[in-house]
Amino acid sequence: MIYQKTKNDIDHIRKAGRILARALNRTLQEVKPGITTRQLDFIAEEWIRGEGGLPTFKGIYGDPSRGIPPFPGTLCISVNEEVVHGIPGIRVLQEGDIISLDCGVTIKANGRQYVADSAVTVGVGTISDEDTYLLELTDTSLAKGIEQTRIGNRLYDIGAAIEAHIKPSGYGIVREYFGHGVGYQLHEDPMVPNFGRAGTGPRLKNGWVLALEPMVNLGDDAVHTLDDAWTVVTSDGARSAHFEHTVAITEDGPEILTRRDLPEVQV
C-alpha cells in the first residue's frame, strides 16, 4: 500500500528531516583521518537525541532465526568498497578513504511516528580524481531522479533518469537495493529502483513521500553481504558511493525534506 501523506504529515516529516540534516552536517565536520566510525556514530546519536529525535536505525529489524542481529548503530557507515549498511566500530578512517553516512530520524507527534531518511558520501582528506568524479556523478544522478518526482509522472521515470545519467560512465548501478516510500515507517511501498524504463509504473501522486538513493560502483554492479549479516560490499572490491534524500511530491513540485544546505534554525 502506498500512503498518501497529508500536509500535516509532511510538516512532521520535514521536522524529522531538519534534525537529520543538522545531525549529518555536525557529523561531517568530524570526518577526518584518525577518527573511528564508532566516534562518528556517537556524534550523530547525541545530536539527534539532543534535538528531540530518535535514531531510526538503532535496534531496527534483525532476525534471530536467520542469525541477523538488530542493527546496532545510529548511522550506517560504509567505507570504500562498502556499499550500504556498514556497522560503526573501531575502524579508523584513513587519508583518501571515501565514507558514506546513512541516517534515519524518527519523531513522534499526534500519536504517530514520522521518519526521514538521508545519506551522503564524502572523502576523507584528499581523495583521487576518480573518487571525486564518482561522488559528483552519484550526487547529480540523485538530482536527476528528484527532478522526476512530479505529479503525473511515472514511478520508473525516476530510475530511468538516474540510469541515463550514470550509464555513459560505465560504472555499476547497484540493482539489489532500491529507494522506497518513507514517512510513517522507514521502509514503505513503493520500491524505487535506480534503473528502469521511462513511462512505466504507477503515476506519482500528490502526498507521496519517497526516499531516493542511487548507489554507484566504480566497478560492476555485483554486491554481496558480509558475515556480519549487514554490511554490503562490492564483489569486485571497487569503491562505491551512496546519496539519498527524502522527497515529498507536492502540487508545487518535489520538495527535498532532508536538505543539508538550509540555514541553521531551531526545529
Neighbours of 80 (CB within 10 A): 20
174 part of a folded domain: yes
CA–CA dist 165, 159 (Å, integer): 10
Handedness of CA 18, 79, 139, 113 (dihedral sign): negative
Q: What tens digit of pLDDT does each residue of 165-213 get?
A: 999 999 999 999 999 999 999 999 999 999 999 999 999 999 999 999 9
CA–CA dist 129, 181 (Å, integer): 34
184 part of a folded domain: yes
Handedness of CA 96, 133, 147, 197 (dihedral sign): negative
265 part of a folded domain: no
On the question of a cis peptide bond just before residue 190, with omega within 30 degrees of 0, the verdict is yes
pLDDT tops 80 at residue 264: no
1 part of a folded domain: no
Overall domain count for the chain: 1
* Residue 90's CATH number: 3.90.230.10
pTM of the entire structure?
Answer: 0.96
Predicted pLDDT at 267 = 38
Instruction: Return the C-alpha cell found at 152.
Output: 503525473
Residues spanned by the domain of 221: 7-256
CA–CA dist 9, 72 (Å, integer): 28
The distance of Cα 123 from the centroid of its chain, to the nearest Å, equals 17
Taking each continuous run of H as one helix and of E as one strand, the counts in the chain are: 4, 15
263 part of a folded domain: no
CA–CA dist 91, 118 (Å, integer): 22
164 part of a folded domain: yes
Q: What tens digit of pLDDT does each residue of 102-131 get?
A: 999 999 998 999 999 999 999 999 999 999
Q: What is the mean pLDDT of residues 21-33?
A: 98
Residue 263 — pLDDT band, cuts 50, 70, 90? low
Predicted pLDDT at 68 = 87
89 part of a folded domain: yes
